Structure 1
Amino acid sequence: MKNIKLTLFSVLFSVLSFNFSNSNENTKTFNKKNVHFSKPGTHSKTQQKKSSFVIDPPKLIAQGDQFYCPQTSINIVTDFRIDHDLSETGTEAIYIQISSGYSSGLDKLELSNPAAHSTITTNWDATAGKLTLTSPTGADVLYSDFVAAIKDVVFTNSSATASGIRTFSITMGKANYLPSTQHYYEYVPSIGITWTSAKDAAAARTYYGLQGYLATILSADEAKLIGEQASGTGWIGGSDAETEGIWKWVTGPESGTVFWNGNANGSTPNYAFWNTGEPNQQGDEDYAHITQPGFGIRGSWNDLSNTGDNSGNYQPKGYVVEYGGMPGEPTLQIAASTKITIPVATPAIDPTPVCVSGSFTFNATATAGAAIRWFDATIGGNLLANGPTYTTPTINTTTTYYVDAGCESNRKSVKATVYETPAVPIAEQETYTKCGSGSLTIKATSNIGTINWYASATDQTIISQGTTFTTPTISSNTTYYAEASNNGCTNPTRTPVNIVIYTPPAVTDETLPLCQFQSIMLDAGISGMSYSWSNANETSQQITVSKGGTYTVLVTSPEGCQSTKKITVEEHKIPQIARVDVEGTRAIIYPVTAEDYFEYSVDGVNYQDSTVFYDVPGGLQTAYAREKSGCGGTTKQFVVLVFPPFFTPNNDTYNDVWEVTGMENYPQAVVTIFDRYGKLIVQLSRFKMSWDGTLNQVPLPASDYWYALKVDDSMPVLRGHFTLKR
């Protein structure tokens, strides 16, 4: 609030002579022959040599704090009068302004019946929110005519959603009057004026005896009236010239009061209204200035240097003078004010809903002094009750009521919610079946609301909500329960939904051998089922097949559970031996075609997967090859020739002769023996199978001897050596 230090004074009627050379606002004077006003911003019309009497300015007294409903018309006063000196009968103009809460483009003041006020013409300034009443001829208008006209001035707002408070100031001077501060504000155009010059110029101005100063802005009401509703941009009384970043009001009664600390990201201890990014200290910018209209936030402030720019948005265009609040100043009544309040009823939150039926109590608050009304329709309707509380009769359906504070256009809806109790849920199936463990989706519906699912008929823990419920994995028979609920209104009867788990047929995949040129029987493995063989077009438990491949059978239980068995039939050939290679005592069996399911032997008893055999006895031997699962086999004889590495012809019955074991199996075989010098010693054949170590019955000396074995013309000659020991 402004620090208003006004003292009441009584004007003493004394004889004074006045020199108006330094007066610049309304100082009223009169003498016995002539009474006149000096106009705002001018000197007196004449400098009277005769004695003059100082008189009180007129006193404006208004009544009319009222409620207003949007989109209607209302007189701004309920009563109005101007108390004035009998010597004064009129003045040039009266100014009526919407000084707070003004909504530009929607609010308007106008004379309701101008034809009844022929001595007055009006001018509405939509930017300033100000209605001016003057004479159409420029002459003074009688106070009585102004009083009559002001009683016919009306306020309108064109928006159905208008809200808040509008304050109307009625004043005789051109300066804007703000009832909340009881101060007057005047914008003085002066292109390019410096801040220091504006400060001095403002201090030189007076308004009906009130001292002027560069405006100080302490509230949003002031900022709006000065910045948005004034006619231009200009200087105000803020500066941080004393200490950079500490902004103070340095004019008027608030001189020395800090209102901002820092730059654009600073803070205020009371009120400030900087434009976006201001103050920014772009240079030596130490003085507060109302921003150019249309540039940034309307009516906001920026910081400038003492001179500002030479042109453009940051060129000073004038300054704002404030009057009022200086110590020792008189209390003026050249302005009066009224206000209208758009009443709004604010209902409390809606009462708690009920099930089936019930009575509800609504509560609401309203703008102070406004009467609360309750209706059954948003427009018109029946008045149900007056006052902050309304209790409904018992109702069984959801019902909307409406409350206002006297304005039908501002009605608010409230709702009494009645929820219906739903019917017993209906399960899509009473019993669901499932083959094997797992989850499945069950379903239940009701006529209204939602479905809660429970694990038992009495359990209170909801495990799922919604018409469908996908169960967790279950492996045994289970029952779930569906309950219908509508916003807390619950049908107590729960519907059971059964789940029966069947065990699928237990099958085991198989791999079976099929002997070449034979057939095999395939068995599904479980009796009493239904069967469907995929690649045999058969429906019996067993089928016979005669070729290899993969066979599948779908086994279906009487409950409809299915399992698929796969039988892999591997067709096995009967082995055939191509040849047997012998290397010393090692024999290698070569089958015509090698298969993993073949096994081999050289004695017909001991079988192995390998075809290689070691330490095979000399002589005629038999090679065996057979299929492991018994499909059949084959044999082939072979000879193992054993050449002794030495012999000892000493008649001890051990190694007394040298002979080739197995040679008897080759009738055409010839072994030729040589000494170390290549001399032929003896030839062995089927007629002579051994050598006793003599030549012509003469014993030969102990030494190494060489042999060459020619089996027949189809086999290579086998060569080697052995030792004769004595």
Structure 2
Amino acid sequence: MKIHKLFLFGALVLSFRLFAQDAPPEISVIGEQYYCSDTPMNIVTSVSITDPNPEDTTLQEVFIQIAEGYELGEDTLVLSGVHPNISSVWNAAQGQLALFGPATFAEFESAIEDVLFQTTQTNFTQDRQFSINLGNANYLPSTGHYYFYVSSPGITWTQARDAAANQDYYGLTGYLATITSEEEVQLTGEQTSGTGWIGASDAETEGTWKWETGPEAGTVFWQGTANGNPVNGEFSYWNSGEPNNAGDEDYAHITSPNIGILGSWNDLAVTGDTNPGGDYHPQGYIVEFGGLPNEPEINLSAYSTIIMPRILSEDVSVCGTEQVTINIESSTNQADWYTSETSIIPVYSGLSYNVMLTESTTFWIDPSVSMCSNASQRFPVAVTVNPIPSVNDITIVQCEDEVIDGSANFNLSEYNDAIVSGDLSNIEVAYYSDADFLNQIDDQSYINTVNNQTVFVVATNTITQCSNQAEVLLVVNTELSQSVTLEACDSLDETGLVSFDLMVAETVIYANEGFDKEVEGFYETYNDALLLQNPLNTNYTNNQPYYQVIYARVQQDGNCHSIVEVVLNVKPLPELLEDETVFYCLNTFPETISLYGGIVNDVPNNYYYNWSTGETTINIDVNEPGTYTVDVTRPNGCTNQRVITVLASNTATIETIEITDISENNTITILASGEGEYLYALDDENGPYQESNTFEDVAAGVHTVYIKDIKADCGIVSEDISVLGFPKFFTPNGDTVNDTWQISGFSSQFPVTASVKVFNRFGKLITILNESNSQWDGTYNGKLLPSDDYWFEAKLAEGRTFKGHFALKR
């Protein structure tokens, strides 16, 4: 049976009695038997009760418990026969039969031998173990320990710990129970309704649960709260949602039967719930005896076993439809095999059946017991017959690697579909260098040790684990092949990287190798071609500028015939001068300028030229702006292109010259038009020239302005101008320096057709200057005038009128 996961402990002892150090009586039993389902069975075949003290020959009580495997509601213990001094009480909840005296040892021996086990269960899952206890403690055969439940409502955990440690059972020291197995859970939980403390706590470190008592003291078994984890596989049996540390709960407690899973644990505060009526109010504690060092050996309890006939094996799978051996496990040493649940004659008897199977089937197996008069329950065991992978022995022919020595690199995994027939999705293929399948080899990159080497294959179905074996012969083809060269002109960006159509190479390979071959693919490296790794697209751009070797794998009958070198050669374009822009001076039309095809560092006579004008010479002459292209082709057929842009330029056309004169800052601004880019100079054709078309602080007088085209050096134009001005003073003293006063800027080229009148400070007209009398010498009617300020009024030919004054100094 499946052990229930919740238990509280064995006998609920309300009046707790312990024995002192007086030597206890001892019991031994014989009783390991197979269960026969037709009649109730004695739990033992013989019993012996003794006491070291000859005067002690009687007992008050004996407790017999189904300590392991108990099925509540189906299992029963009964006292048969006539035993005048002994009465019995069966406690179904605890799975315990109590025998009460007083009676002699012999009378209790007879009674125990007459205790019968019977059950209504038919499909057995677990043997039954019976503990026969002379004391009032519960005995668990799997641990050899004794257990008491002490009723003590409201006791705290620390009080329970100390009380348990002060108890003694025939020299065994008590401790608050440590529950470390499902069997202990069943005895101390499921078969008793007691609720109480056990010896675990996380008071030292929150969330770290450990046993504080008994032989397991200090052992950490749980980390965390309800979603925590067991530590090092240690046993625990927390209730759902526990431990939860609700309100600083640090002590372990077996839950009330009203709470969750029977026999499970929760964490409580050291006092538990102080409400006497609550489900979390402590009702007592469990004392355990046994396992501590230096303790006496006592035999107050003995145990017997009834082996419940059952098949322990689950359904099985076998591989292939050949003779197979099916091994099963049984609780008995004999089993009868039937082809159906109701068939009468077994087809085989035993635990290991060698049989020919062609399809999946179910056997019904009876774990028979020879001493039983009727058959046991039959257990179905389904045998699934799984097919083994279908495999083929093959030969792989690989091409020689780059060193001719009879060895090559094989990608064996590429041939899995040739070795294994059918779907490969659940098939794992492994390769070995030896027939004993000890040395597995790399199936994606394996170099054979000798030519014509055999390697060994195991194909395994990963679901059924059925496998089959095959052999693979590795043959190295040492045949050499001609290389193939593909050429292409460089791209216009001249990187040396262009796209090649590898189908062109394939056509040449077929012509060289024969049309019975197959070009399997193209690869960047020889090794990739050998291993069928990283195939290239047939439109492939080389990644090594101008020259690169790639490899074509040629197959014949599915095997490698040869690895062909494919040379990718990128031919350079003609080296040309950079595209350029030149200028044509419109003022020189119809003169022409010469445009050059642009060959650099080579003999240009071998090249072909095609100008956009239709001309085919290296140079052409043009006399108009425009864009001119020339395609230059080398004798190898590669063409490059040069573009020459002819822009217009011209000498300047002077539109107007603006003059600001007779001022503190005389300026000249030249306004010109034209297709050129212009610089400006004053009075000197050779410059210096400036970008600005304005000149400032220009002295009075006649000047020449020059305008030069710098875009195409189309020429210089000029124009003479006059800037008028007058001196602020003059000194007519005969030293020939500033002896006269006049308006500057007049000349025969720029005559003044009007007059200049000179006045003294009182407004008296002193003289009139004109073309015939252009200067004043400081006299009036032949007499020298004194030093003073004088005023003038000038009327110019273009209609301007301006006034001013100056000083005469003597």
- Which deviations, in whole Å up to 9, do the C-alpha atoms of 1:208-240 show, x marking residues without a partner? x99998984453444665589768784364266
1:714 alignment partner, one of 789, 793, 799: 799
Q: 1:343 to 1:596 in 2, by over 3 A?
A: same
SS at match of 1:708: strand
> 1:477 deviation in Å?
3.0
1:240-251 map, 5 Å: none
What is the match of residue 692 of structure 1?
Answer: 777
- 1:11 corresponds in structure 2 to 49
- 1:93 corresponds to 2:117: yes
Describe how 1:447-462 pairs up with structure 2 within 5 A.
Answer: 453-454=524-525
C-alpha spacing 1:467/1:316, structure 2 compared with 1 (3 Å): farther
Q: Give the Cα separation in 1 of the matches to 2:719 and 2:454.
A: 109
Q: Paired residue for 1:466, among 530, 534, 537?
A: 534
The residue number in structure 1 matching 2:106 is 54
Q: Which residue matches 1:677?
A: 762
In the aligned structure 2, how far is the partner of 1:228 from the partner of 1:442? Answer: 83
Paired residue for 1:591?
671
Secondary structure, aligned partner of 2:790: strand
The answer to whether the 8 A contact 2:787-2:807 is kept is no
Deviation of 1:328 (Å): 1.3
1:381/1:625 Cα in 2 relative to 1: closer, same or farther (>3 Å)?
closer
SS at match of 1:691: coil
Whether the aligned pair in 2 keeps the contact of 1:249 and 1:257 (CA below 8 Å) is: yes
Measure how far apart 1:178 and its partner are.
6.7
- Counterpart-to-counterpart distance in 2, 1:381 and 1:306: 65
Question: Aligned equivalents of 1:465 and 1:300: distance in 2?
Answer: 61
Displacement, 1:673?
1.8
Distance across 2 between alignment mates of 1:287 and 1:381: 54
Q: Which residue type is aligned with residue 498 of structure 1?
A: L
* 1:278 equivalent among 238, 243, 250: 243
Counterpart of 1:437 (choices 471, 482, 495) is: 495
Cα distance 1:381–1:596, how it changes in 2: closer, same or farther (>3 A)?
Answer: closer
Secondary structure class of the residue paired with 1:54: helix
- The amino acid across from 1:235 in the alignment is G
Quick one: distance in 2 between partners of 1:286 and 1:53? 43
**1:466 alignment partner AA:** N
Counterparts of 1:426 and 1:633, CA distance in 2? 71
- 2:677 partner letter: Y
Q: Give the secondary-structure state (helix, strand or coil) at the position aligned to 2:805.
A: strand
Distance 1:523 1:90 in 2: 132
CA deviation after TM superposition for structure 1 residue 685, in Å: 1.6
Structure 1 residues 233 and 633, CA, compared in 2 at 3 Å: closer, same or farther? farther
- What are the within-5 Å matches in structure 2 for residues 112-511 of structure 1? 122-123=120-121, 168-171=127-130, 180-181=142-143, 216-217=177-178, 219-222=180-183, 225=186, 234-235=195-196, 237-238=198-199, 254=214, 257-260=217-220, 271=234, 273=236, 275=238, 278=243, 280=245, 282=247, 286=251, 288-289=253-254, 295=260, 299-303=264-268, 305=270, 308=273, 314=280, 327-330=297-300, 332-336=302-306, 379=385, 391=436, 398-401=457-460, 412-413=465-466, 430=486, 434-435=490-491, 436-437=494-495, 453-454=524-525, 466-468=534-536, 474-479=544-549, 493=563, 495-500=565-570, 502-503=572-573, 505-511=575-581
Aligned 8 A contact 2:756 2:768 in 1: yes
1:102 corresponds to which residue? none
**Residue in structure 1 matched with residue 89 of structure 2 by the alignment:** 39
Deviation at 1:509, TM superposition (A): 3.8
Q: Deviations over 1:32-70 (max 9, x none)?
A: 87597623459978968xx7552576xxxxxxxxxxxxx
| AA matched with 2:106 | V
Residue in 2 aligned with 1:138? none
Structure 1 counterpart of 2:598, from 523, 526, 537: 526
Change (3 A) 1:218 1:441: farther
For the 8 Å contact 1:450–1:465, the answer to whether it is kept is no
- Count of residue pairs the alignment pairs up: 576
Which sections of structure 2, spanning at least 5 residues, go unmatched?
A: 1-23, 29-47, 66-76, 317-327, 330-350, 360-383, 390-433, 439-452, 507-516, 600-606
Residues 189 and 465 (structure 1 numbering): CA distance in 2 closer, same or farther, change over 3 Å? farther
- Specify the code of the residue in structure 2 equivalent to 1:437: T
Identity %: 18
Q: Structure 2: how far apart are the matches of 1:323 and 1:93?
A: 28
> CA distance change for structure 1 residues 578 and 192 in 2, over 3 Å: closer, same or farther?
same
Structure 2 CA distance, aligned partners of 1:6 and 1:673? 166
Structure 2: distance between partners of 1:514 and 1:29: 135
Structure 2: distance between partners of 1:23 and 1:198? 28
Give the alignment's TM-score, normalised by structure 1.
0.56
Instruction: Give the whole-Å Cα distance in 2 for the aligned partners of 1:689 and 1:482.
Output: 104
Whichever residue aligns with residue 385 of structure 2, its letter is I
Distance 1:185 1:501 in 2: 98
* TM-score, normalised with respect to structure 2: 0.51
Residues 759, 767 of structure 2: 8 Å contact kept: yes
Q: CA deviation at 1:89?
A: 7.5
Alpha-carbon distance change, 401 to 248 in structure 1, aligned in 2, over 3 angstroms: closer
- Is the CA contact 2:496–2:572 (under 8 Å) kept in the aligned structure 1? no
Q: CA deviation at 1:588?
A: 0.9
User: Which residue of 665, 680, 689 maps to 1:600?
Assistant: 680
